[in-house]
């Protein structure tokens, strides 16, 4: 597993946090550690999870993934 820090644009409230957390948890191989306004920390199985998958999940919640670190 690899820890990834996600920078997310467009979040402004607790509802935003819940929406992003819910969508990230849908991805097989992802364990959500923490979501805050503007960021998230996840542990991901490197051979299962791509940046595109994370980006799509964030977009499904209504926000933009701007950086993966």
pLDDT band at 66 (very low <50, low <70, confident <90, very high): very high
Distances (CA, A) of 8 to 36, 47, 49, 64: 9, 23, 18, 6
User: Per residue in 20-38, pLDDT tens?
Assistant: 999 999 999 999 999 999 9
Kindly state the helix (H) or strand (E) to which residue 49 belongs, with its residue range.
Answer: none
pTM value? Answer: 0.92
Q: Which domains are assigned to the chain?
A: 2-68 (3.30.70.100)
């Amino acid at each position: 597993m690899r820890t990834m820090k996600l920078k997310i644009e467009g979040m402004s409230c607790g509802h935003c946090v819940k929406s992003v957390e819910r969508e990230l948890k849908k991805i097989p191989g992802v364990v959500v550690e923490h979501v805050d306004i503007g960021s998230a920390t996840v542990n991901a199985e490197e051979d299962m999870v791509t940046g595109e998958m994370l980006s799509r999940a964030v977009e499904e919640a209504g926000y933009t993934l701007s950086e993966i670190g």
